[in-house]
Amino acid sequence: MFDYHIHPNYSIDAEGTIEEFCEVALSKGLREIAFTTHLDTDNKGDDCFVNVKGKKVSTRSSLWLEDYEASIRSADEKYKDLGLRVRFGVEVDYISEIDGALPENFYSTEFDIILGSMHLIDHIAISATGRAEAAFKNYSMEELGRKYYTLLIEAVESGLFDIVAHIDLYRRFGQEFYGDGIREVWKLHISDLANAMRRFNVGFEINTSPLRRGQEQPMPEAAIINELHDQGVSIVTVGSDAHQPQDVGADITTAFLLLKEAGFSNISVFERRKAVDQEIPNHIV
């Protein structure tokens, strides 16, 4: 089993050291994990920081990225002989002005995987409690969907990313605000998104965090997973989006089962940003 979306305490909203996450992953029998610290980019907010040895450091600094990479590579050396590979990744919050918002050494850094996420509408975090409504109230459901997917497709076409994370993130708080209809807005945009993903060789993840928050479906939900498969998107990972060690690997089995049901036979793992297919077992425990 794999978990390709984990936030150690470099992320300002996470708890737990890299080693603590690795120990839990080992105890749960995972074979490979990827740490994907948040790289927030919109300096109009107050989230563009990481924690480094107890100090708050700007995400635009190159120093934190060097420290983070060294810590991940050291963990891989320590744990690979114990049966756990540890991959070096990052979750970048996409904005249209992305190039000026990244650390100077970003493009020369040898990541294993880069996740691209769409957390913001009009500089407002639609995934944050108490903030999302401020963005939603400015748009009809259809307008929100159009704005979100236009930016998501732009992110795919930027060439920066290997995987787009939690594709239907707007659903977290949007379902309560707009009603169940928000679960249908992807239908108008999925063909354009899938076409961009194929052209730019970008995959998606099944993010299991909603299942820990009382929702019945991961992100994206099963209907979107099925549609992306039918439209020829073949690169896919799974991730818990763990922000604390005990959540590593949570509900990953469910994600694997959804992939099998959708018709996927392989899952992708990454090394130095190259996707390698791994067969999904016929019998998932």
The chain-wide mean pLDDT, for the chain, equals: 95
Residue 186, both tokens: 């992807």
The answer, yes or no, to whether residue 229 has pLDDT greater than 90, is yes
In a domain, 285, yes or no: no
What pLDDT is stored for residue 284 in this prediction?
63
- Burial of residue 16, with CB atoms counted within 10 A of its CB: 0-12 exposed, 13-18 middle, 19 or more buried: buried
What pLDDT is stored for residue 238 in this prediction?
97
Residue 208 · residue 256 · CB < 8 Å: no
In a domain, 284, yes or no: no
In a domain, 275, yes or no: yes
Which tens digits make up the pLDDT trace of 116-175? 999 999 999 998 888 899 999 999 999 999 999 999 999 999 999 999 999 999 999 999
Q: What whole-number distance in Å separates Cα of residue 204 and Cα of residue 268?
A: 10
At residue 285 the predicted structure's pLDDT band, cuts being 50, 70 and 90, is low
At residue 46 the predicted structure's pLDDT band, cuts being 50, 70 and 90, is confident
Which pTM value belongs to this model?
0.96
Which tens digits make up the pLDDT trace of 63-108? 999 999 999 999 999 999 999 999 999 999 999 999 889 998 999 9
Query: Rg of the chain over CA atoms, in angstroms?
Result: 18
Find the CATH number of the domain harbouring 195. Answer: 3.20.20.140
Between the CA of residue 5 and those of 38, 63, 143, 230, what are the distances in Å?
Answer: 10, 22, 29, 24
Structural domains in the chain (count): 1
In a domain, 247, yes or no: yes
The domain in which residue 70 lies consists of 2-279
Q: What whole-number distance in Å separates Cα of residue 238 and Cα of residue 218?
A: 10
What pLDDT is stored for residue 47 in this prediction?
84
Which tens digits make up the pLDDT trace of 27-41? 999 999 999 999 999
